[in-house]
Structure 1
């Protein structure tokens, strides 16, 4: 919430007044439990300043206490909680306090303009977090990991209402993808369409209209969820499950891929008794496209927060994957070049 972020701003102003935190040298190989190094003492000091490490242990030994502190720092910055220190984690620790203050101010500004959350159901996707949150009133029901648009194919920020579920969907390939990816692929391999379970259904301004048939290899997986918007963005399943193992998941052409689409379908249709878990599973695997109207459409908000306070009252930071912070900083802060 805005108030919690404002409280953290106060903490970080105090840290800045006290000179910030030490810069840590780059490392050639990851630091793990049991390692002894002068860098360890500096890392402990760094993590004490932001409250990740409690106590006053300044030894050069990578001990259990430091493992816990590193995991906390990793969780707050969107890394897998391994408890070991990589060079990319050092880079995150070395982001100066002035930069973090700017991040806090920019995200507080974003929060001020966000409309109040509806009192009922709400689906929120935070793009830099790569997570979809489902709320029932003020209570969080569950989270689902997502894949969002890669740079140049940004997932847009907007509000909509999830009002349809499509089982065993066709994928109507956007003209831009037909021109840039499908046509060159056909030139290289005349059997490309058959191999990808695709078909041409017509012609539009000299460009073939291509769709991919329902099935295991369909780019949308076994189900998609529609919330009408002018960006043609929707939620969908995916056959590319391995991407969910990554910490940073910006890989799509703009749509939002779900790690647990069946769980999500069961939730969206939970008030429609005819759609039992068995019936949903059957429809997902039928190979016949089927549209289902959602009885009570659910509001969807696509947001872009790179700093927020989570349910455990931990301050989180994330990478500015689309450069929105960078552009906003140029307008908000006078000393920017």
Structure 2
């Protein structure tokens, strides 16, 4: 199914119209595997040779793992890989060790470039084994040889790399951080066979990672360079805000900061807030999801004064989140990024358009999960959730006998609901993707919140700034639903369910750092304070 081949960053939240839910849902595990390549010409120099004459005794795997016990957790992967090969060598051919071995060694020794703090297991032995075999292979005066420890060390290190770089933290630890998006699965043994068969220059080129990962990896390198050069200046503000025409020492510091981050051309050292600086401020505000008014107020100063090492940590934790999502976006889908307060409409890996959303308050944290949108409901009733009924509606009824009538509510059996209409808390349309959290997307009569920078105000569900636009998009393949008909249904005052011809995948995620299509690194506030916990978990 196309639902399991996806994601940008990824994202959502809850609104006052939704019921809080503590129960964790059953989440199907996404399958995002890469099949082994076929029809490879084994005569290409440096390629893996599909020979079967060079084999080893299966008991040597156990002996190797006894010698290098820290690699035992990869024992079952190693055994499975060689079972499928009838225990023939993978990293050696008739000419000696293959070139891909050096490439893998290089990638593992530079694992810090992947935003990971793990130390290479048995680094000294790994270096020595591969170097010795490479020297033997290059020495034309001696006959080529094979070494079982080098062979098994390379395979074990490959599985180590795949586990940490491609898959990330274990499922249990990820779910402990309330992340319930489907995790990708990687056929590591098939992928290893494929990589060994690839030309040397493309070894590890088809890594099963979401494209945002690579963009963040490039930015990690840039920000580490900034850190190595002393970071950026601290802004010492002597007034509440700075704007066009102002001057002072703080403005020189702001100008220097924007030059370091790439928001401003080369710094001319001026202390005047001119039009060039105003453009740089707008660039900064755009990257941080702020209103682009070119005014440097407390919020801008606060973000500028975040140390570079903290920004590096923010990049690293979002690289880790990218490891958890399917790698190859395919088809149409919706992504809601909670810290970004936006819904994105995607086709494959291209963002078509987006809209502002309102998400859950910090006390009503949005669940990060996946669903399939199946219904559009025009002129919906609002079935009042038990929590809101208990805390707001019933006390209101006790205080005011006309409470129900004044709020266009009615009692149906033992429950209460609000009638359709412009004043309905769900607005004129809602969008359902069945889930155990009772979360959905909907319109709202309160439009003023969409212009704010911080839009975490709801009890649960996601409020949409442009619900009619989404309805038109979802129903565009159902020609009977013209724009006029959608408008009439939204204002009919009579609830109407429409089943989508093709269910739409919806991904609700949490990314506080991401790179936009223009190549700009964006940061968002950690509205639910999730980054710190993930960073600590990664350091364990």
TM-score, normalised to structure 1, is 0.95
Q: Is the 8 A contact 1:164 1:225 kept in 2?
A: yes
Question: C-alpha deviations, 1:220-271, integer Å up to 9, x for none?
Answer: 0000001111111101000000001101100111100100001110000000
Q: Is the 8 A contact 1:128 1:304 kept in 2?
A: yes
1:72-221 maps to which residues of 2 (within 5 A)?
72-203=283-414, 209-221=415-427
Structure 2: distance between partners of 1:28 and 1:61? 15
Give the C-alpha shift of residue 98 in structure 1.
Answer: 1.0
Partner in structure 2 of residue 206 of structure 1 = none
TM-aligned CA distance change 1:245 to 1:107, over 3 Å = same
1:16-55 maps to which residues of 2 (within 5 A)?
16-55=227-266
Give the C-alpha shift of residue 327 in structure 1.
Answer: 1.9
Counterpart check, 1:273 vs 2:479: yes
Counterpart check, 1:288 vs 2:499: no
SS of alignment partner, residue 46 of structure 1: helix
Structure 2: distance between partners of 1:13 and 1:219? 47
Q: Is the 8 A contact 1:27 1:87 kept in 2?
A: no
Gaps of 5+ in 2: 1-211
SS of alignment partner, residue 368 of structure 2: coil
Question: C-alpha deviations, 1:56-105, integer Å up to 9, x for none?
Answer: 21110001110010000000001011011111110000011111111000
TM-aligned CA distance change 1:254 to 1:276, over 3 Å = same
Moved more, 77-86 or 26-35: 26-35
Structure 1: distance between partners of 2:349 and 2:300? 33
Structure 2: distance between partners of 1:151 and 1:24? 29
Gaps of 5+ in 1: 204-208
Q: Is the 8 A contact 1:162 1:299 kept in 2?
A: yes
Moved more, 16-25 or 70-79: 16-25
1:244-323 maps to which residues of 2 (within 5 A)?
244-323=450-529
State the number of aligned residues.
329
SS of alignment partner, residue 102 of structure 1: helix
SS of alignment partner, residue 145 of structure 1: strand
Question: C-alpha deviations, 1:160-186, integer Å up to 9, x for none?
Answer: 111100000000011011111212222
Higher-Rg structure is: 2
Give the C-alpha shift of residue 27 in structure 1.
Answer: 4.6
CA RMSD of aligned residues (A): 1.1
Moved more, 173-182 or 302-311: 173-182
Partner in structure 1 of residue 50 of structure 2 = none
Compare relative contact order (CA 8 Å, sep 6+) and give the higher one, 1 or 2: 2
- Spell out structure 1 runs of 4+ moving beyond 6 A: none
SS of alignment partner, residue 376 of structure 2: strand
Give the C-alpha shift of residue 282 in structure 1.
Answer: 0.2
SS of alignment partner, residue 158 of structure 1: strand
